[in-house]
Chains A and B, each alone.
Chain A
Amino acid sequence: MNRYRRRTLVLELVMVAVAAVIGFPVYVLINLAVRAPSDTGSPIRPTTSPTLSNFTDAWQQAGLGGALINSTLVTAVSVAVVLAVSSLAAYPLARITAAWSKGTFLLVMLGLVLPFQLAALPLYQTMRDLGLLGSIWALVLFYAGLQVPFTTFLYVGFLRSLPHEFEDAAAIDGCTPVQVFRYVVLPMLKPVTVTALVLNAVAVWNDFFTPLLYLSGGTQQTVPVALAGFFGQYVSDWNLVFAALLISIIPVLAVYFALQRSIINGFAGGLKG
């Protein structure tokens, strides 16, 4: 069973073939992104004289530089806030068994079921009244609250599986609750923090619906909104559009391949609760 047999070889070939089929769109994406718009041959024929001019054109016209900075800023700030407030809240919610604690936890878990479409429209008015419409800070505020239930759920589940003796010992030694949290609880939460970081960052970076609502009409854009706008303008100029798409996924894939082990483990293990 543990040997490499002929059947294993057949399976290997089948799996590689399946991977090739799944990877086919990526080939076309690259193939057309480096093709001059004047070349109207079949999309699957390898491009004979590749050019990089689509990339420079797309970069300038889609405003991708600003969008990448905005997306990075929104993701970094909102995920940092979510991790901070959720881990802090998870500490009493996981350790205290009083009724108020259980009730609060259930209230937060209600957020796992509520689709954000329900809150998104009334919140549009709130954002307008706050003068945040069209600003990326509307997104930061929204994600910071939206991701609380899921992140708290992860932290509480993880914390409940940890012994509380370390916290008790630190308290007996004279630590204040804030110090216990900062120097004892937080370091123990590191594995689940990595998971929460990965899942939240991917969700925030990739979201399209929220920035479509709250950024429309403004000058600030995130990557998905910039791409949608660019596509609307150059809908038939596929070589340019593909270059823009490729530029936008290169940073994502670079991070993914660099950190693939923690990212895949985050997705695979994070939801065991």
Chain B
Amino acid sequence: MTLTEKAAEHVPRSARRRRTDPPWWFVLPAIALFAYVVLLPSGRGVYFAFTDWDGLSPDWSFVGLDNFSAMLDDPDALQAIRHTLLIAVAITVIQNGVGLLLALGVNTMIKSRNVLRVFLFAPAVVTPIVTAYLWRNLLGPDGAVNSLLAVVGLGSWQQDWLGDPQLALWSVVAVIVWQFAGYSMVIFLAGLQSIPKEIYEAAAMDGAGPVRRFWWIVRPLLAPAITINLMLSIIGGIKLFDQVYALTGGGPGHATDTISTLIYKDAFTLGEFGYSIALAVVLTIIVAIVSSGQYLVLARNERAAS
């Protein structure tokens, strides 16, 4: 027996399996695109956050943490960070609350359940800027919302919904809840439909009322759907731009500015690229903290529930 033959005989199983392994270069096109469009520019972004670059001139100087300390003295920036967090939390709570109620309502014997599911989800596929312009009119002083209030005898509730600094932020939240509650509903509904009917009926037979059935049976089994919904709405809320831009432009004054609208304004109307990118770094840090924190908490809850 020659050496080669002997070696071939002793090829370990794992090495023989390698024959079917896909080649490493399959990842190259995706990695190249991802690196060129996301990774490298993001890296450069982090670098520019420590410079005073205006976005146009060929030279810039390194300014250390100046952009970040300037942020601490900038009431507009601090306010935008506060608004961003407030919007994200408000959307997460309200949108998922409404979405869950809709899902529970649709997941019953009602005859219109299939039509309602399709109808209630429809706003979620419409371009956000379109719904934002639509609502900009509806919420105006002479808009349909105020007209409707007058018709039903609530004329005293009429407001300039987007023009009042106290209300504008909440009006933005309401528009987003209107558009995406159906999205939450669809995810909750998929979770609800995966719960075996038998468990539910057995609990009903044992005398558990609707509230206790929900809390002890539906809620734990719904944990994966809850995780997905919370992640989607909170991250979406933190990055929010289109709707604020089209509804209020960040106004009145700075009453509805978020980090994203401020990034846009600072970079493209004020030419402060360095400062604007420093804001984007802060946005990144917030997203990273929130998503990792949420992931840890929810993963633990999911394990506890299963």
What residues of chain A have their CB less than 8 Å away from a CB belonging to chain B?
1-4, 8, 11-12, 14-16, 18-19, 22-25, 28-29, 32, 42-44, 81, 84-86, 88-89, 91-93, 95-96, 100-101, 104, 107-108, 110-111, 113-126, 141-142, 144-146, 148-149, 152, 164, 167-168, 171-172, 177, 180-181, 202, 205-209, 212-213, 223-224, 227-228, 231, 238, 241-242, 245, 248-249, 252-253, 256-257, 260, 263-264, 267-269, 271-272
Contact = CB atoms under 8 A, between A and B. Distances in A.
Nearest to A4: B109
Nearest to B131: A25
Given A111-B34, A241-B137, 4 more contacts: A8-B110, A113-B291, A227-B133, A245-B133
Contacts of B24: 92, 96, 100-101
Given A8-B110, A121-B280, A122-B41, A92 B120 contact: no
Interface residues of B, number: 96
Interface in B248-274: 259-260, 263-264, 267-268, 273
A89 B110 contact: no
Contact of A142 (B37, B125, B201): B37
Nearest to B102: A18
Q: For the complex, would chain B's binding face be called helix, strand, loop or mixed by DSSP majority? A: helix
A88 B283 CA distance: 32
A97 B273 CA distance: 42
- The DSSP consensus for interface residues of chain A is helix
A79 B188 CA distance: 27
Given A205-B127, A245-B134, A126 B41 contact: yes
B183 interface: yes
Contacts of A116: 38
Nearest to B18: A96
B30 A85 contact: yes
Given A43-B147, A267-B121, A208 B201 contact: no
Interface string B266-293: 0110000100110011011001100100
